[in-house]
Amino acid sequence: MKTPRVSVTTFRWFALASFISMILIIATGAAVRLTGSGLGCPDWPTCYQGQISGSWSLHPAIEYANRMVTVALCLVTLATLIAAMRRVPFRRDLVVFAGLLVVGVMADAVLGAIVVYTKLNPWLVASHLVLSLAMVVAGAVLYHRSKYQYGEGTRADRRDPRMQLIARLLWIPFVGTVIAGTITTGSGPHAGSSRGQLRARRLPFALHDVAWLHSLFAVLFLALILGLFLLVWKTAAPERLQRGVRRLLLIGAVQGAVGFIQYFAHLPVLMVEIHVCLAASLTIGVTQFHLSQTARDREIGLEK
């Protein structure tokens, strides 16, 4: 029995589901760390000595719930890959990006297992977040491509060469901000373990020093966004580009304010969780702004 064909509209919903799931795993993963539940399940893939859950106490429940989210992600991304292969008309680029999400989720799960067995090695925990954010980028690209026509003979009009250059340069301070941010968190008080568990070691950096480096990249990032805003304001840029810049400036300003407040408030858990979720939102904003530099036609059936 053959798998039924998938329409353009239906595949867009698969792509959206995968995209949202990439964001969800970041929020739940941060919750595991900030509640000190990283070692709530000391074994993998089971929780404790071959049992699905060591107990129904808080930390094992939170850690295993995050693992179940990862399982759900595997199913969603696998279904999206199958849908991409059965999509009519077939597009190789969608299969490639859907496949990247499957590989990324599996790699994230394996890395999560290694994190558990290394007792929350801070370098691996930081890599865990960076990989998850990279998957958010892949998910955003897949969803974008599912809505627009790509390939030989399709429209691909470059809008503003200056803005396109800035959109590319924007990735440099953004990636620097993310990496410096993960190092800052790895040097801070939230080790991912709780009282009564083995205390996870921290990165060998002074929190003040790495926080200063993180803020330096963040200021450079915000300065570029402000420059983009002024450029858009003084030119007749398309409305979509203007919205993208306004969104980046707003989220970037809020993220900067949250980062400033959380540092001087000694990193309260809720503020750090908001900071992580805003990092995912900024990742989406930078990706979408980069993609919007080229004007393309909507897929047939998705004109609205």
Are 211 and 95 within one domain?
no
Quote the pTM value.
0.89
- Let me know if residue 302 belongs to a domain: no
The mean pLDDT of the chain is 84
CB atoms within 10 A of CB 2: 5
Within a domain: 79: yes
Supply the pLDDT for residue 303.
Answer: 56
Q: Quote the DSSP letter at residue 151.
A: S
**Picking from 45-59, 68-82, 209-223, which range would have the lowest pLDDT averaged per residue?**
45-59
For residues 140 and 10, membership in a common domain is answered with yes
33 and 110 in a single domain? The answer is: yes
pLDDT-based confidence at 56, cuts 50/70/90?
low
Residues in the chain: 304
CATH number of the domain encompassing residue 202: 1.20.120
Residue pair 21/145 in contact by the 8 Å Cβ criterion: no
State pLDDT tens for residues 151-191.
888 888 887 787 888 888 899 999 999 999 888 887 776 65
Domain-embedded: residue 175: yes
Q: Residues 26, 276: contact at Cβ < 8 Å?
A: yes
pLDDT tens per residue, range 241-283 = 788 888 889 999 999 899 888 888 877 888 888 888 899 999 9
Three-class SS state of 87: strand
Report how far apart, in Å, the C-alpha atoms of 61 and of each of 54, 125, 150, 210, 298 are: 9, 20, 44, 33, 44
Q: Is 81 exposed, middle or buried (0-12, 13-18, 19+ CB in 10 A)?
A: buried
Res 34: pLDDT: 74
- Who's near 209: CB < 8 A, 6+ residues apart? none
pLDDT tens track for 76-85: 999 999 999 9
Q: Is residue 16 part of a domain?
A: yes
